[in-house]
């Protein structure tokens, strides 16, 4: 694993007036490139094989240049080239998934945020320790499937995109549906409506909604569109479908915009605040964009079932502003907010605080 | 109850060049403050205990000052202070609910709109008289639960947020689910899709979509997100869930944006028009923003199940414009439209027509 | 049927500096008029009886003038008048439906796009030949209802708006529900989530996402709101409801915005590309806006169940830009993009390539 000292050593040789913002050509790259350009940065898209043609259709979001690799692992061999371009990597979810956690931790290129968060985010037990430590309400965890006595959601570890997740109401159902070759977690199924809350934590700013260090913003929110769970009711209830051999699935295909009751904003900010404060104590802080994946119950409680400690694809709905970021600044996407943070850090000589 | 004469008397002492727009810090306050500032007004947020911290995260929507009260009833004691600041109150739904209808009617501070609407809006029988008088199609009302012979929605009076509402298909189901200690209304359940239509009625303008007096605008529309009814299908059908002791609930947690078939716009405007015209005859008119809560059936009929005679939280989706208001003017929220109306009234010397 | 030569003959007499953009006052006319005005065109709304009053409420989208006809067929008698105003018609779905296909093919007014597409779009067999020829994955077609052995969607020909469509799982169900007096098509029911993808094909541009001729854009996407299918789960599962005599229906009442996983963009563009390329070979090309109506499965495959070869009403969500068009240009609706194409064609002397 690359150390902070090593990264700071690399940064010393950077021309900070000529930084390049880079990421892998997927996930939320359009807004990252668009936002970086709006803040005056050069942009670089990392892709396998050849540049994806679709960027040609989006001139404002097309990176200035592409770095073509043979496979994602090959990024490791391009570190020198990236450093020569004074590159700072924005690690979105697909970046980390495609490269692999181990390699990501070793990549010898300065990376936005605290790479140490990955250890806490990718392991469901440590994630739970973090969130419960922050006083967050989570769905109950059921350790022994025999203890299932009400609806539960079963998730496989590392299954990004929700592939294979299922709902069961009894141990018998669980047994029928489980893939025993995979590591799984069983969570109480919370009835309510899903909200994915997009925050931004800056350790640098001393104004705004201040925390013990830095400030917190709420940039937007979305609801994920899950295939086929979100439309399968058109065919029948889960029980009816199971008889016909059809199972609901929870693969994310996209996102819809929404807003929350304004009276819930104090609670929403409090959740974000506690998660950040706890992260400062646990591992030096989660920096930049993060997302709490929640259910709002009919008691107007918010249960958090997961955290994503980086930019989430749900922010793609808002490339030029959201119903929340519009109260901060015109034309503010999460991608642009990321670029602003880097720009501000350069201007205030504090890049070392937001890079690892 | 404060009389119109008393309010006009107060207004005489106001410095109309230095008005303050005030509301309670909840519901739709962000867009109200943001919109008022865009139109050049000072803004004041009324809050209990201390200023909510979340405004710090939304600098464009943070009121210029806060008026801290011990409890919402305490607002009554602050009337003098509010008048000294030349305050006009924007009464959103939570403002009225938190303060209480009786106190709201007595509050000695000029208030946007016609307070007299409250009597017609808050009582389901009078609301029904108003809407049916306007020739609006409403779900049938079932007076005697024994007459239930198809799906019905049961609503409790004054239950803002949908708490406790339920669907029943038979008298037996009704009996099982009813809370007999509360006053309730039984409405036919209309199958279709829900649309919440956000209008703005101005008695002052003589251009645009004109009515017998003033004009009508359609600013936006939304669909409410109801917890847990909107996602509970993932667990099972209502009947299956009832066996498991799980009941659907209809608590509003937020809102999603949508648009209606353009061919329905003539009908949509006609509904708004008739409701306003009827209100002019019944109680001198409903002024400013209002919302028809509707179901669009598969016959492309629009059934109205409720009216909100003030700004609704669904407009929070659109702080810088909606797919409808974008055809009126750039950057037009309902909050801003409210401020424009006050500004226009000051300019044309007709504040007395929109204040009570 | 009017020939290309005749249309070009008409164009020769046009004052290209003073074109009028016209369409029928419905469907997507607000953004068409608004977009045309933004590009400097005069606008004309065709309506029956009298000008719809609702345009008065949307000053930016109100056409400069109205052409009042007695009935839509009467448009045929107004061709001379329209030509004298140097009119180019934008044929949205309601325009074609109200006028009738036969008359539309004969209308002696220059029309945006290739009228020849109608033959391929309106006949489900030819549509299927086109899409399968393009290598698009479609739901399987079941020719004999006796072969139904899993969920299917049954659609009536020409039934715009989804009226009467139904889902069946067995031949018995099919028999119960079918209206034998109408021509129908039976398609495999694909479980997943619906996305309606809004493309724009220009034969004129040589930059951007280039095809063998011209370029392709993705302007936005939506999900249709279908009454009552999208909310009927609140009452019961389809099977439970059928017992109670309540049938799901699929009438489009409006649209909600959404975005797709960014990693699906290469596939999304590839689908659009193949459909256009195939159209160039089959009938000289589908020009301008079109929509692929799709289901995203949990395998992240995209199945196309229908194509609309003109502007769709789902684009009404985005009169001032979408999460996709915002990466092309500020304030870009499909209506405005249409006007830009005409403007560019005039400037480059290539109007003959986009008109028929």
Contact list in A for residue B32 (CB cut-off 8 A) is: none
* pLDDT tens-digit readout, B119-144: 999 888 999 999 999 999 999 999 99
Query: Would you report the helix, strand and coil content of chain C in percent, each value rounded to 5?
Result: 40, 25, 35
Q: How many residues are recorded in chain B?
A: 356
Min mean pLDDT across B76-90, C168-182, C204-218 is at C168-182
DSSP three-state, residue A223: strand
pLDDT at C238: 84
Q: Which two tokens stand for residue C276?
A: 């256009």
Q: Could C217 and A57 be called an inter-chain contact, meaning their C-beta atoms sit closer than 8 Å? A: yes
Going from the C-alpha of A288 to that of each of A63, A341, C110, the distances in angstroms are 22, 8, 54
User: Chains contacting C with at least 3 CB pairs below 8 Å?
Assistant: A, B
As assigned by CATH, the class of the C113-138+191-225+252-329 domain is: alpha beta
Encode chain B in three state secondary structure: CCCHHHHHHHHHCCCHHHCEEEEECCCCHHHHHHHHHHCCCEEEEEEECCCCHHHHHCHHHCCCEEEEECCHHHHHHHHHHHHHCCEEECCCHHHHHHHCHHHHHHCCCCEECCCCHHHHHHCHHHHHHHHHHCCCCCCCECCCHHHCCCCEEEEECCCHHHCCCEEECCHHHHHHHCCCCCCEEEEECCCCEEEEEEEEEECCCCCCEECCCCEEEEEEEEEEEEEECCCHHHCCCHHHHHHCCCCCCEEEEEEEECEECHHHHHHHHHHHHHHHHHHHHHHCCCCEEEEEEEEECCCCCEEEEEEECCCCHHHHHCCCCCCCHHHCCCCCCHHHHHHHHHHHHHHCCCHHHCEC
Q: In 3D, which of A260, A257, A201 has the Cα closest to residue A225? A: A257
Q: Could B300 and C94 be called an inter-chain contact, meaning their C-beta atoms sit closer than 8 Å? A: no
* pLDDT tens-digit readout, C328-349: 999 999 999 999 999 999 999 9
* pLDDT tens-digit readout, B310-327: 999 999 999 999 999 999
Q: Tell me the backbone φ, ψ of residue B176, rounded to 5 degrees.
A: -65, -35
As assigned by CATH, the class of the C1-111 domain is: alpha beta
Give the separation between CA C276 and CA C130, rounded to whole angstroms.
Answer: 10
Contact list in B for residue C226 (CB cut-off 8 A) is: 193
pLDDT confidence bin for C242, thresholds 50/70/90? confident
pLDDT value at A162 more than 80? no
Contact list in B for residue A327 (CB cut-off 8 A) is: 30, 34, 58-61, 319
pLDDT at A159: 63
* A235 vs B71, residue with greater confidence: B71
Residue C293 DSSP label: E
Same fold, B1-111 and B145-190+226-251: no
Q: Could A54 and C324 be called an inter-chain contact, meaning their C-beta atoms sit closer than 8 Å? A: no
* C241 vs A67, residue with greater confidence: A67
Q: Could A235 and C191 be called an inter-chain contact, meaning their C-beta atoms sit closer than 8 Å? A: yes
Spatial contact of A245 and A176, defined as CB atoms under 8 Å apart: no
Rounded to the nearest 10 degrees, what angle do helices A334-347 and A29-38 cross at? 40
Q: In 3D, which of A224, B227, B148, A236 has the Cα closest to residue C229? A: A236
Instruction: Domain ranges for chain A, please list them.
Output: 1-111, 113-138+191-225+252-329, 145-190+226-251
pLDDT confidence bin for C161, thresholds 50/70/90? low
pLDDT at A161: 66
pLDDT at A71: 96
Spatial contact of C156 and C179, defined as CB atoms under 8 Å apart: yes
Q: In 3D, which of B75, B64, B88 has the Cα closest to residue B16? A: B88
Q: Could B29 and A262 be called an inter-chain contact, meaning their C-beta atoms sit closer than 8 Å? A: yes
pLDDT confidence bin for A10, thresholds 50/70/90? very high
DSSP three-state, residue A195: strand
Q: Which of A94, A227, A237 sits opposite C192 (nearest CB)?
A: A227
pLDDT at B241: 86
pLDDT value at C157 more than 90? no
* pLDDT tens-digit readout, B8-35: 999 999 999 999 999 999 999 999 999 9
Query: What residues pair up with B21 in beta bridges, in sequence order?
Result: B43, B88
pLDDT value at A326 more than 70? yes
Q: Could C327 and A61 be called an inter-chain contact, meaning their C-beta atoms sit closer than 8 Å? A: yes
Shortest CA distance from B256: residue in chain C = C256
Q: Which of C191, C264, C326 sits opposite A228 (nearest CB)?
A: C191
pLDDT at A160: 64
Min mean pLDDT across A201-210, B79-88, B154-163, C68-77 is at B154-163
Q: Which two tokens stand for residue C162?
A: 């989804």
As assigned by CATH, the class of the C145-190+226-251 domain is: alpha beta
Sheet holding B65-69, edge to edge: B65-69, B42-48, B20-24, B87-89
* B108 vs A173, residue with greater confidence: B108
Q: Which of A169, A268, A298 sits opposite B228 (nearest CB)?
A: A298
Residue A77 DSSP label: G
pTM of the model: 0.97
Going from the C-alpha of C149 to that of each of A350, C28, C348, the distances in angstroms are 65, 39, 55
Q: Tell me the backbone φ, ψ of residue B27, rounded to 5 degrees.
A: 70, -75
* pLDDT tens-digit readout, A200-255: 999 999 999 999 999 999 999 999 999 999 999 988 888 888 887 888 899 999 99
Contact list in B for residue C319 (CB cut-off 8 A) is: 323, 326-327
pLDDT value at A126 more than 90? yes
Give C146 to chain A, closest Cα distance, Å. Answer: 18
Compute the mean pLDDT over every residue in chain A, rounded to the nearest whole number: 95
């Amino acid at each position: 694993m690359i150390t902070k000292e090593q990264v700071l050593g690399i940064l010393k040789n950077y021309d900070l007036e000529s930084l390049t913002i880079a990421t892998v050509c997927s996930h939320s790259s359009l807004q990252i490139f668009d936002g970086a350009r709006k803040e005056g940065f050069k942009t670089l898209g990392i892709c396998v094989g050849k540049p994806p043609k679709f960027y040609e259709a989006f001139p404002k979001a097309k990176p200035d240049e592409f770095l073509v690799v043979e496979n994602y692992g090959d990024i490791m061999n391009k570190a020198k080239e990236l450093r020569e371009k004074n590159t700072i990597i924005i690690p979105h979810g697909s970046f980390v998934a495609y490269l692999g956690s181990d390699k990501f931790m070793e990549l010898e290129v300065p990376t936005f945020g605290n790479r140490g968060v990955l250890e806490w985010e990718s392991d469901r037990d440590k994630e739970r320790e973090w969130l419960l430590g922050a006083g967050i309400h989570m769905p109950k965890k059921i350790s022994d499937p025999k203890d299932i006595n009400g609806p539960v959601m079963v998730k496989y570890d590392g299954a990004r995109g929700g592939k294979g997740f299922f709902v069961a109401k009894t141990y018998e159902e669980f047994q029928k549906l489980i893939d025993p070759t995979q590591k799984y977690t069983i969570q109480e199924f919370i009835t309510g409506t899903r909200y994915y809350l997009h925050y931004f934590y800056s350790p640098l700013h001393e104004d705004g909604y201040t925390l013990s260090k830095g400030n917190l913003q709420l940039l937007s929110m979305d609801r994920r569109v899950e295939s086929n769970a979100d439309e399968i009711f058109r065919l029948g209830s889960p029980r009816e479908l199971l008889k016909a051999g059809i199972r609901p699935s929870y693969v994310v295909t996209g996102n819809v915009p929404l807003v929350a009751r304004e009276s819930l904003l104090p609670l929403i900010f409090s959740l974000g605040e506690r998660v950040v404060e706890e992260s400062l104590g646990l591992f030096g802080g989660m920096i930049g964009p993060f997302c709490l994946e929640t259910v709002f119950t009919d008691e107007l409680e918010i249960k958090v079932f997961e955290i994503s400690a980086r930019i989430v694809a749900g922010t793609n709905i808002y490339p030029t502003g959201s119903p929340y970021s519009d109260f901060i600044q015109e034309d503010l996407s999460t991608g642009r907010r990321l670029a602003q943070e880097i720009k501000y850090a350069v201007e205030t000589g504090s890049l070392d605080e937001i890079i690892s």
